[in-house]
Amino acid sequence: MEGSVTSQIEQKKVALHTLGCRLNFSETGTIAGGFTERGYALVPFGDKADVVFINTCTVTDQADSSCRNLIRKAHRSSPDGQIVVAGCYAQMEAETIAKMQGVDLVLGTQEKYKVFDFLEDAQKDIIHIDTSNDFWGANTTISEGHTRAFLKIQDGCNYICSFCIIPFARGRSRAISIHEATAKAETLAAQGFKEIILTGVNIGEYEHKSGEKLSNLLAAIDKIDGIERIRLSSVEPNTITDELLEVMKSSPKFLDHFHVPLQSADPEILESMRRKYTIEKYGSVISKIKDAFPEAAIGADIITGYPGESEEQFEQTFEYLKSSPITHFHVFPFSSRKGTTAAGLEGRIQSGEKKRRVKTLIGLGEFKLAEFSRKLIGKKCSVLFERENQSGYFEGYTSNFVRVWVKSSQDLKNQIFEVLPQSFSEGHLTGELLQ
């Protein structure tokens, strides 16, 4: 008893916080696992800790400023703790971060996985940023209830979209091999995960040095026993091939859910953004997806307030979205990132106007998602339950990514059940189990 109290007292604590995309969450999960393996206890961010690890994002200036606020908060809650700031913002603005009070380590997008080595080095420099292109894989879960795991298969990007800082922060595209990906997926299956989400910066560009393609990887992951559901994170429209859709169509494990970034429906803006598709090409890809997966939910990233975006161009995007099958909107206001082509463009949109456009598109997205969800009422859906919520319902997602609540006396966590949705409100369906 006394021994356990002593070891409790001696156990070091780490608090982690993630900003940004699913990929970042996936990576933080891996790093959290590294800390627990080394005997650390995980504590909530904001609690006193020996190490505070902040995995940053730099996709917007809002993300940069959130990161600086988090560093201040970390220093207040853990004045004697070691504060580590890692990831994309750290990669881009290392000097600024290193000067902030309380910061002990600034680690780039490659170095964040070596945080343990750096922490042990008493003579360490503060900044560690490398620009080489090694792949540092990560696989883990962020979903509550231990049911869905994010498996990172690719990092970096070779595109040069005018607004995007990611290729500067994460470097060129590289991928893990199919052998490595399937080994990781098998481990996840053995740990009890039923669903995996394949993530990366630009997974459509998945291509291993050996010539392996994304379609080959999907076919291999499909064969793993225990993994019952597979989702892809964002896939660029120009990388969605017939071959890829064929592989996905051939197995029920691939879910009815695609996230295909659009950004704008105006041809001129798309060209200025240096996106690799026309609006016609985008439309034809979405039609192909809907032909292959008629029940599919389609999500898209949309940027509004891009320099020079006129009211007519905004309206064009609005009307396109209104009539398209896209139902899961991720709307971002344009944010000027130093070093990108778009940062030098004229025709800045006032922030109030940007906010109005964002709000208008979010409103449209909510309306379309509700409409899409209501169409599922009375239709049998398969749901992987993730957790019991505070209202006493079990919650999970359908294949086409609609949240479902169900009351049950049995524990549904991490199980897949057929459900009959009966109503939709407040962003989720409510239904009953079909046994």
- Assign residue 39 a region: left if phi > 0, alpha if psi is -120 to 50, beta otherwise? left
In the complex with ligand SF4, which residue's Cβ is closer, 106 or 270? 270
Closest to ligand SF4 by CB, 237 or 431: 237
Is 155 a residue that touches ligand SF4 (CB under 6 A)? no
Q: Is 164 an interacting residue with respect to ligand SF4 (CB under 6 A)?
A: yes
The verdict on 326 binding ligand SF4 (CB under 6 A) reads: no
Stretch that binds ligand SF4, among 7-15, 23-31, 71-79, 164-172 (CB under 6 A): 164-172
Q: Is 269 in the site for ligand SF4 (CB under 6 A)?
A: no
Indicate whether 166 belongs to the interface with ligand SF4 (CB under 6 A).
yes
Q: In the bound complex, what is the minimum distance in angstroms from residue 59's beta carbon to ligand SF4?
A: 9
Q: Which stretch binds ligand SF4 (CB under 6 A): 84-92, 159-167, 320-328, 370-378?
A: 159-167
Query: According to CB under 6 A, which one of 54, 57, 176, 201 is a site residue for ligand SF4?
Result: 201
Instruction: Tell the smallest beta-carbon distance from residue 167 to ligand SF4 (Å).
Output: 5
> Does the protein bind ligand SF4 through residue 157 (CB under 6 A)?
yes
Of residues 277-316, those binding ligand SF4 (CB under 6 A): none
Which one among 27, 236, 256, 386 touches ligand SF4, defined by CB under 6 A? 236
- Site residues for ligand SF4, 36-55, by CB under 6 A, read none
Question: Which spans of this chain sit near ligand SF4 (rule: CB under 6 A)?
Answer: 157, 159, 161, 164, 166-167, 201-202, 236
